[in-house]
């Protein structure tokens, strides 16, 4: 019984290209009580591997969080399988704005302590007492209300390339880092303002809304299905789109184009650009924004040092990496010190803290 991948990403990509069939990029999450995550994980892997599905799935006692690449011709069997599982019946599926047959190249189903690294002790509050879910139309109306604070619950490198107009975009590297920072800066508005949150697909807001209600916020709202579901509703219903730029996604595509606005800059030369890449030096692998000109000049690398390393024969590079682990730059997500045009959002949030909410409404 096969319970893990046997093909490399390269081999899988070759098979996908040879098949020449369309695939759909889909995401969903569901908080639920799973008694034995390992058994559930094995069941899901076997069922989805048989359907030729790929993706990144995290399973924990608290539920499931999944990003998937599904063969278009097998969508119905996939949906039927979900509906056969009680707590996943009719679960909301976020269909990607832009499809790519190569968004995922392996099926990774992993058991984790949590489906989302939030740093919270769920036993201390009622995680089911969530904020009010709002659709795209309701969301648009809410954020026009002068009594609303709109907060981006994503990380700095996500909001840098795209966000909703007038949203507060905290300078954070992780979701768990954002929770206390946002609470502290909004502490004087727990009862007087409407707290409206959004994220990529909804899962971060799902937990954050319950946490903030527990912490005393009285009017808490979240965009149902996140940015992905929002834009699909905008297209279907002919609504005004209030998101600008790209929506960052955690797969091989790295982003979905929502509007033609380019609101970020190349981290190496400063020209308008919103294309995230990873440094070609595997010992660095830094995620940063790089324009085509710099990509050619820097040979897909983030620095001259990484260029020199990347020019070495593969076996020599591998020997240099042995026992070293990844550079700490991999965790900086575009804020490494050697990037001259990296965006520093700290002054934005400091200004927000000093001048008050009205500055951003």
Cα angle vertex 262, ends 173, 149, to 5°?
Answer: 55
Q: Whose structure tokens read 């050697």? A: 338
Cα angle vertex 348, ends 343, 352, to 5°?
Answer: 165
Distance of alpha carbon 35 from its chain centroid, rounded?
Answer: 27
**Segments in 260-311 forming alpha helices (H):** 292-297, 304-310
SS3 percent helix, strand, coil of the chain, rounded to 5, is: 35, 20, 45
With the C-alpha atoms ordered 8, 42, 63, 135, is the resulting torsion angle positive or negative?
positive
Annotation marks residue 269 as catalytic: no
Instruction: Please tell me whether residue 349 adopts helix, strand or coil conformation.
Output: helix
The active-site residue, picked from 199, 205, 291, 294, is 199
Which of the 8 DSSP states describes residue 131?
Answer: P
What is the DSSP code string of 300-316? T-SSHHHHHHHTS-HHH
Beta bridge partners of 243: 164
Cα–Cα distance, 119 to 332 (Å, whole number): 19
What would the two tokens of residue 32 be? 């639920």
Instruction: Please tell me whether residue 30 adopts helix, strand or coil conformation.
Output: strand
Cα angle vertex 162, ends 230, 171, to 5°?
Answer: 115
Active site (catalytic) residues? 199
């Amino acid at each position: 019984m096969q319970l893990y991948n046997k093909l490399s990403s390269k081999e899988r990509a070759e098979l996908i290209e040879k098949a020449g069939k369309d695939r759909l990029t889909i995401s969903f999450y569901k908080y639920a009580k799973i008694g034995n995550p390992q058994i559930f994980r094995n069941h899901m892997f076997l069922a989805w591997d048989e359907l030729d599905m790929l993706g990144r799935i995290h399973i924990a006692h608290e539920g499931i969080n999944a990003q998937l690449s599904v063969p278009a011709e097998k969508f119905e069997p996939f949906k039927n399988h979900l509906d056969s599982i009680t707590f996943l019946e009719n679960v909301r599926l976020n269909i990607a704005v832009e499809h790519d047959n190569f968004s995922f190249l392996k099926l990774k189903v992993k058991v984790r302590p949590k489906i989302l690294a939030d740093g919270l002790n769920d036993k201390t509050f009622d995680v089911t007492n969530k904020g009010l879910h709002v659709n795209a139309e309701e969301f648009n109306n809410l954020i026009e209300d002068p009594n609303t604070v709109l907060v981006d619950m994503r990380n700095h490198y996500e909001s840098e390339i795209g966000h909703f107009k007038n949203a507060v975009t905290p300078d954070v590297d992780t979701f768990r880092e954002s929770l206390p920072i946002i609470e502290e800066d909004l502490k004087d508005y727990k009862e007087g303002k409407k707290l409206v949150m959004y994220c990529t697909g909804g899962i971060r807001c799902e937990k954050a809304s319950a946490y903030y209600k527990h912490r005393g916020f009285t009017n808490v709202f979240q965009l149902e299905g996140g940015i992905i579901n929002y834009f699909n509703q905008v297209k279907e219903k002919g609504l005004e789109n209030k998101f600008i730029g790209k929506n960052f996604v955690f797969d091989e595509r790295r982003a979905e184009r929502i509007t033609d606005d380019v609101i970020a800059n190349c981290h190496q030369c400063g020209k308008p650009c919103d294309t995230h890449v990873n440094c070609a030096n595997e010992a660095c692998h830094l995620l940063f924004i790089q324009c085509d000109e710099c990509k050619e000049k820097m040979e897909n690398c983030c620095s001259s040092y990484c260029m020199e390393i990347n020019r070495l024969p593969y076996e020599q590079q591998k020997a240099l990496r042995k026992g070293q682990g990844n550079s700490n730059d991999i965790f900086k997500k575009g804020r490494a010190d050697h990037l001259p045009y990296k965006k520093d959002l700290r002054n934005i949030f400091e200004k927000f803290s000093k001048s008050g909410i009205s500055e951003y409404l």
